[in-house]
Every structure is written in structure tokens, then in C-alpha cells.
């Protein structure tokens, strides 16, 4: 399990730092992006096992980013866990659940983050 590569996309630097620390302590390799444009560049340049994607980004929402990821890496798109601190519409939640590896509501318990990542990595291997 150690060594799987995770793309972490969130515009809140504190959340990125916290999640990076927790995930790296579990042996994951983490690349982070604070916006969708950077995330798209990283997906073009690297292979990832899991993506953690915040819904609200400064340059694109999570659904639009997920659609871009799907065009570049279908497997990663199926291993995407969405995160959001805002109450989402039923339509968005339905999209998350049908297209991705899951959904985490902020504030989240770090054990839940690890559980979801492990579940997605387990499904991908």
C-alpha cells in the first residue's frame, strides 16, 4: 500500500498542509495543487492512484475539474474523492457518488479521509 501517489486539490493551504502531513505519514506520495489549472498540469505530467478534489476552487468547480481529469486519465477519474465544506445540491452529490470514489464533507475526521483513500486504493489495485 505504501507509495501510492495522491493528487490533492484544495484552495485552502491549511487543509492541504494537514492532509499532506497525514497522508505522507501513512506512506503515500502527495502532490498538491491550490487550483484546478495546477491540478490539470500535474495530471498531464504524472500518474496518480487517487485524487482528493475540493468542490470549490478559485478557477473551476470540482465537477468541471473531474471532467477534465476524465479526459486525461479515466482510471484516476474513477478514483476521485470529492471534498466540500458547503452543502451541496442533490445533483452535485449524485454526480459525486456516480462518478467518483466518494465524498467527504468538511470538516472531516482524518480517520474518514484515510479510510476512503484506502478503500479507493484497494479498489484500484
C-alpha cell at 15: 487543509
Asked whether residue 16 is assigned to any structural domain, the reply reads yes
Task: Provide the domain count of the chain.
Answer: 1
20 — pLDDT class (breaks 50, 70, 90): very high
**Cα distance between residue 34 and residue 16, in whole Å:** 8
C-alpha cell at 124: 484500484
Query: What CATH number corresponds to the domain at position 43?
Result: 3.40.50.2300
- Averaged pLDDT score across all residues of the chain: 88
pTM: 0.88
Asked whether residue 15 is assigned to any structural domain, the reply reads yes
Range of the domain at 82: 5-108
**Cα distance between residue 125 and residue 114, in whole Å:** 16
Asked whether residue 53 is assigned to any structural domain, the reply reads yes
Asked whether residue 117 is assigned to any structural domain, the reply reads no
Asked whether residue 62 is assigned to any structural domain, the reply reads yes
Asked whether residue 116 is assigned to any structural domain, the reply reads no
pLDDT in tens, 61-100: 888 999 999 999 999 999 999 888 765 566 666 666 666 6
C-alpha cell at 1: 500500500
pLDDT in tens, 30-50: 999 999 999 999 999 999 999
Asked whether residue 82 is assigned to any structural domain, the reply reads yes
Q: Has residue 124 got a pLDDT over 90?
A: no
Q: What is the DSSP secondary structure assignment for residue 1, as one 8-state letter?
A: -
Sequence length of the chain is 125
Amino acid at each position: 500500500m505504501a507509495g501510492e501517489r495522491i493528487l490533492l486539490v484544495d484552495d485552502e493551504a491549511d487543509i492541504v498542509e494537514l492532509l499532506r502531513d497525514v497522508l505522507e505519514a501513512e506512506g503515500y506520495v502527495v502532490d498538491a495543487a491550490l487550483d484546478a489549472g495546477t491540478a490539470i498540469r500535474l495530471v498531464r505530467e504524472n500518474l496518480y492512484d487517487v485524487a482528493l478534489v475540493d468542490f470549490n476552487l478559485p478557477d473551476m468547480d470540482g465537477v468541471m475539474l473531474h471532467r477534465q481529469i476524465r479526459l486525461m486519465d479515466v482510471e484516476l477519474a474513477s478514483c476521485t474523492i470529492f471534498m466540500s465544506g458547503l452543502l451541496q445540491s442533490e445533483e452535485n452529490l449524485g454526480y459525486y457518488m456516480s462518478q467518483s470514489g466518494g465524498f467527504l464533507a468538511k470538516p472531516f475526521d482524518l480517520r474518514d479521509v484515510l479510510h476512503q483513500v484506502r478503500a479507493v486504493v484497494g479498489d484500484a489495485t
